[in-house]
Structure 1
C-alpha cells in the first residue's frame, strides 16, 4: 500500500524572509521504516530526501535527529508548526511545516503499519538482494 500527501510549507531564509514551498510525502508499506519527501523549491526543481518515519513522528513533540535531518516543534510564537532542518555539505535548509498536515499523513501511515510492527512488513531477503545487486 502506498500513501501520499502534498504538504505546503515555508522555506525560512532569514528571521524576516521565507518562501512558500510544497513537498510530497510518500510512504510505502514495502519500506515500512521510511518516509520519502520530495521538496519543490522551484517550478522545475525537485529534491528528494528519505528519513525515518519515527524521526518525523517524534519531532512533532520534541527535538530529534542528529544527522542530515532534524525535526523539532517550532517556538511557542509559531504554534502548530514544526521545523525541519535538512543538512548537506553545501549547507542547510530550514523548513516550517504545519503539524496538522504531518499528523494526518502519519495517522494514515500508522493505520497501514502500526508503529512497532514494521518488522512484519519488511522483507529482509528482498532488501539484501536489492543492496547486493547495486554493488
Structure 2
C-alpha cells in the first residue's frame, strides 16, 4: 500500500537583481519512493517542473549547508522567520529559491511518521521489482 504526504508551499525565486518572484510549489513524499522527496514547481503556464533528491539531504539542509552537484540547501535565520534556501542547477539553467523553514520542517516530520528514518528499505519490494524486470512485466 502506497501512502503519500504532500504540502503546498509558497517559495520565492531569487532573481540576479536580488528581487524575488513568488513561485507555487508542492512537496511530495511517497512510501513507494521512500528515500526521495519531490518538489513540483508550478509556473504560470505549462506542466510543473519536478526536482527529486534525497530525504536525508533535505533533513541535513534544514540544519546546515548541505549538498553536492545540482542541489544545495542551507538554513538562515531562526524561529518562525527562518528560511530554507535551495539552489538548483541543471544543463538548462539554475535557480535559487527560498521557503519558510518551519513549514518544510513540519512536512518532513510528517514523512517520518509515514516512514521512519532508517526504515526506508523496508518499504521496497526488491524481489517483486526484480521479478518484473526479469519477466518483462510491469
Q: TM-score, normalised by structure 2?
A: 0.84
- Cα-Cα RMSD: 2.0
Deviations 1:68-108 (A, max 9, x none): 111111367xx500100111012210000111110111010
Residue 126 of structure 2 is aligned to residue 124 of structure 1: yes
Residues of 1 paired with 2:32 and 2:74: CA distance?
27
Equivalent residue, structure 1, for 2:10? 8
Q: TM-score, normalised by structure 1?
A: 0.86
**Structure 2 unaligned runs (5+)?**
none
Equivalent residue, structure 2, for 1:35? 37
Equivalent residue, structure 2, for 1:90? 92
Larger Rg: 2
Say if 1:41 and 1:118 are closer, same or farther in 2 by CA, change over 3 A: same
Equivalent residue, structure 2, for 1:74? 76
Equivalent residue, structure 1, for 2:59? 57
Say if 1:55 and 1:131 are closer, same or farther in 2 by CA, change over 3 A: farther
Contact 1:30 1:123 in 2 (8 A): no
Structure 1 residues 117-126 or 67-76, which shifts more? 67-76
Deviation at 1:45, TM superposition (A): 4.5
Deviation at 1:123, TM superposition (A): 1.8
The equivalent position to 1:109 in structure 2, one of 111, 119, 128, is 111
